[in-house]
Amino acid sequence: MENSSVPNPTAAVDLNFGHYLEIRDRQISAHLVGGIPDYAFSLDQKLRQQLMAMGPVRAMVQTLVGWAVPVVQQLHLMESIAVGPQQYPKIHALGEDCAHRLGIGVPQIFICRDSTSDAYTIATDDVAPIIVLSSQIVESFTPEELKFVIGHECGHIHNLHGVYNTVCEIMTNQLAQGVLQVVPTHGMLEPIIQGGLTIFFKRWSRCAEITCDRAGLICSGDIKPAESALIKLITGGGDSLAKINIEEFRKQLSKVQSTPLHLIELFNTHPLISKRIAALHLFAECDIFHSWRSESSLQDARSKEETDNLCEQVVRVLPKGY
C-alpha cells in the first residue's frame, strides 16, 4: 500500500509543454534586438545591410547559391557521413545543445573525409542549412573544442548570414571547393565579387566571423577550449601541439602588423587567429556574454557598445576604415 505521507518529488515539476515553450520563446526573444541576436558584432550588421542594398548583386548571388546548395546537400548525402542520433550520437548531441542554446533548429551535420582542420556552413534563405566538419577536426578536437566549432557554424545560421557566407565558402574554403567543383555555378560566382567589391565582401566576412566566434563561445561557455580550437585550425591539432603557448603565438603574429605584409589580410575572409582570440577575450568580458551564460558572473562587465568599439580596433587592417 502506498504511503500517502511521503511527498511526491515530481509534484512541483511543471509538465505543461505549452508553458515550457512559452517560457523558452520568451527567453530567446529577450536576446533579439530588432530580430538580430544581441551578441552580433555591430560592424557585421552594418556591412551586411550595405551588401543587401546592392539589389542586382544580391539577386544574382541568391539565384546561383540557391541552385548550388541543394546539389551540395545531395553530394554530401552520397559521399559524407550524416550525423544523427544513431550515427555519431555524441556529435549530434553537441549540435542539439548548440541549437537549443541559440534558439535555432538543429542543423544537419555531415562529416567529410579530409586531412585539413576545417568546417563550414552552406545555406540559403529558404533551404535547410548544413554544417560540414572535416574528419581531421572530428579526430583531433576535444568535445569542448568541437562544441565551439559547431556553435560558431550555428552562429552563421542564427544570424542569417545565408547566401553571403555561402559565397565566401564557395570562393575560399578548400574543403567546400573540393565538393563544389562539380557544381556548374561555381565558375559563375567569381565575376560577381571582383575588384573593390571583393575587398568589401571579404571585410564583411571577417566581421561575420567575429560574430560567429561569439556564438561559439556562448555555446561552449569557456574561453580556453575556444582558444585551443582556433589554434588547432592552424596547427591541425595532435598531441605534440597540445601545449602550444598561446601568448607567444599571439606575440609572433603581432610582429607582422608593422610590415606591409599585413595588408594581405584585406583579401582574407577570416581575421588572423591572434585577432580572433583577442576579440573573443573582449567578448568574454562583455555583459551580453554573461546574460547568455547565467552560471558565469563578472563584476564591472563591459558594455556591448564598448566591446564592439574595441573589437573594431582589433580586426581593422588599415588605420582607418578597412
| pLDDT single digits (tens) 33-52 | 888 999 999 999 999 888 88
With H, G, I as helix, E, B as strand and everything else as coil, classify residue 277.
helix
d(CA 238, CA 242): 6
Q: What is the pLDDT along the chain (322 residues), one digit of tens a residue?
A: 455 566 655 555 555 545 444 555 566 778 888 889 999 999 999 998 888 887 777 777 777 777 777 777 888 888 899 999 999 999 999 999 999 999 999 999 999 988 788 898 887 765 678 899 999 999 999 999 999 999 999 999 999 887 788 777 766 666 565 555 655 555 555 555 555 677 888 899 999 999 999 999 999 999 999 999 998 888 776 665 566 777 777 677 666 666 555 677 787 888 988 899 999 999 999 999 999 998 877 778 999 999 999 999 999 887 776 7
Q: At 119, which helix (H) or strand (E)?
A: strand 119-122
The confidence score (pLDDT) of residue 59 equals: 76
Chain centroid offset of residue 94 CA: 14
d(CA 123, CA 131): 9
Contact 223, 280 (CB under 8 A): yes
The three cell numbers locating residue 129 = 542549412
pLDDT for residue 8: 58
Contacts for 123 with CB less than 8 Å, ≥ 6 apart: 69, 129, 130, 156, 157, 161, 162, 163, 165, 166
Pairing of strands 119-122, 130-134: antiparallel
- What residue type is assigned to position 149 of the chain? V
Question: First and final CA of the chain: distance in angstroms?
Answer: 76
Cα angle vertex 189, ends 234, 71, to 5°?
80
Given this model, what pLDDT does residue 20 score? 44
Residue 308 CA from chain centroid, whole number: 17
The residue to which cell 572535416 is assigned:
134
